[in-house]
Chain A
Amino acid sequence: MSQRDPGKPTLTRRQALQCLATWSGAAVVWTVAGGVPRALGATRGDTSIATPQPGALTFVQISDTHIGFRKEANPDVVGSLRRAIADIHALPDAPAFVVHTGDVSHLSKPEEFGSARELLKEIRVDRVHTVPGEHDTIDDGATGYLKYFDHDGNGKSWYSFDQAGVHFVGLNNVLNFKLGTMASLGDEQLAWLKADLADVSRSTPVVVLAHIPLWTIWEPWGWGTADSAQAIALLRPFGSVTVLNGHIHQVLQKVEGNVALHTARSLAYPLPTPGQAGIGEPGPVTVSAGELGKLLGTRELRIVRGRTDVALVDTPLDR
């Protein structure tokens, strides 16, 4: 574990939590520096803690770009992605990298993957980490997707990496289904996850990327992962777990102990709210031209502690 925690922490997580308790009522933001979450105060006038520490980890989540979609709900998904890229470039704190939580493409076509990969290269960050959505695995499982987005060259659509003392895990929860069930992670991937997390100290913040929510939001629409309980059980012992999902094209969250789960906006088109009355299916919702940009957007993240474990700022394209 020592190689995952470069630098000597000057404030332990426990001490920091004690600080949090004494600051009841104050807005407290945490960033990750040297592997340990640090409190960033929101106390007016205290400039020593009002700005992130050098080396603090900031990253951006985008999702559901659906490159290849060109119907009425959004005839220009490329334009929407480029607007998001401009927003990312305008952030005061340049993000370390970008994560894309799936449905990169609309129809899993090679030209869609190729176009998406070139567009994502326009983002001025070191890397873009992706996980596959069900739109990326239509014809041949993850094979076609992996030709463009095999991040570590292992030929698997799940992976992990460490950055700034945070352990990141990317998962594929869009395949492994039985007749009439929601998709699942599957036994092979769960075994891999268990082995992967065995090497991570319990005080290391963990961020999990997966396309479909890792909790059941609306089963009749497949808005859940059949074996998510097994994955959450593996994550529960950690002190800070943040799960980032896409798929439902809207912001929802659930906090369960130390595990906070968040879905993100899409960059393609809105979907109905879960089980929305009068709409029987999770298909694209067409809104007036002026409204679309308010329903699409990006998310900036800093590892934080407070009501939820991470400081998330969801920013629509049109504000």
Chain B
Amino acid sequence: MKRISAVTAHPLRVVMVATLAAAILAAVPAIQAAAASAKVDVDIAKFLFAQKEITVAPGTTVVWTNRDETPHTVAAADKSFSSKGLDTNETFEHTFAKEGDFDYICTVHPFMTGVVHVHK
């Protein structure tokens, strides 16, 4: 309420705020586009993580898709992420906020390993 009354009291400020808001709105699609592009796919096929070693920027979302008829999981060695059992064509995604090297395995088949390197 206080802010609305202030705006009402000073018409010039309304114009300034509106201009600022327009500038922010104009910038938003660009940010969204960047976020949408920061997605990386990893296929799980033939009992392998097809892209066994990947390097991504912080904020990137990695999407794993199980292409096998056998269930697999995606589970970080440091327990920072862990999927449920993925049946055929089911996916799991995790967004990597922080930098680091994240080793992971399939807990159903622990000989299946992969790593996500997260660097700026």
Q: Which A residues have a C-beta under 8 Å from some C-beta of B?
A: 71-73, 106-108, 134-135, 138-139, 177-183, 219-222, 280-284
Q: What are 18 A-B interface contacts by the 8 Å CB criterion?
A: A71-B88, A134-B108, A134-B109, A135-B71, A135-B108, A138-B84, A138-B85, A138-B107, A139-B73, A178-B110, A179-B110, A180-B111, A181-B110, A221-B111, A280-B48, A281-B46, A281-B47, A283-B68
**Nearest-neighbor residue (CB-CB) of B48 within chain A:** A281
The answer to whether A220 touches B111, judged by C-beta atoms less than 8 angstroms apart, is yes
The answer to whether A107 touches B46, judged by C-beta atoms less than 8 angstroms apart, is no
- CA–CA, A182 to B69, complex, Å? 21
Give the chain B neighbours of A282 by CB distance below 8 A.
Answer: 47, 70
| Chain A: minimal CB distance from B45 (Å) | 8
Name B's interface SS: loop
**Nearest-neighbor residue (CB-CB) of A279 within chain B:** B46
Partner of B73, one of A138, A181, A219, A283: A138
Give the chain B neighbours of A281 by CB distance below 8 A.
Answer: 46-48, 68
- CA–CA, A284 to B103, complex, Å? 27
The answer to whether B103 touches A283, judged by C-beta atoms less than 8 angstroms apart, is no
**Nearest-neighbor residue (CB-CB) of A73 within chain B:** B69
The answer to whether A180 touches B110, judged by C-beta atoms less than 8 angstroms apart, is yes
Contact with A along B93-113 (1 / 0, CB 8 A): 000000000010101111101
The answer to whether B47 touches A107, judged by C-beta atoms less than 8 angstroms apart, is no
Residue count of chain B within 8 Å CB distance of chain A: 21
Name A's interface SS: loop
**Nearest-neighbor residue (CB-CB) of B111 within chain A:** A222
- CA–CA, A148 to B116, complex, Å? 37
Known contacts: A221-B47, A283-B46, A283-B47. The answer to whether A182 contacts B70 by CB under 8 A is no
Contact with A along B43-55 (1 / 0, CB 8 A): 0001110000000
The answer to whether B103 touches A179, judged by C-beta atoms less than 8 angstroms apart, is yes
Q: What are the 3 A-B residue pairs with the smallest beta carbon separation, nearest first?
A: A138-B85, A281-B47, A177-B110
- CA–CA, A217 to B110, complex, Å? 16
Known contacts: A138-B107, A180-B110, A222-B109. The answer to whether A107 contacts B71 by CB under 8 A is yes
Partner of B69, one of A71, A135, A219, A280: A71
Partner of A180, one of B69, B71, B105: B105
Partner of A283, one of B69, B85, B111: B69
- CA–CA, A107 to B107, complex, Å? 13
The answer to whether A108 touches B111, judged by C-beta atoms less than 8 angstroms apart, is no
**Nearest-neighbor residue (CB-CB) of B82 within chain A:** A139
**Nearest-neighbor residue (CB-CB) of B68 within chain A:** A283
- CA–CA, A220 to B109, complex, Å? 10
| Chain B: minimal CB distance from A85 (Å) | 25
- CA–CA, A181 to B46, complex, Å? 18
- CA–CA, A281 to B44, complex, Å? 12
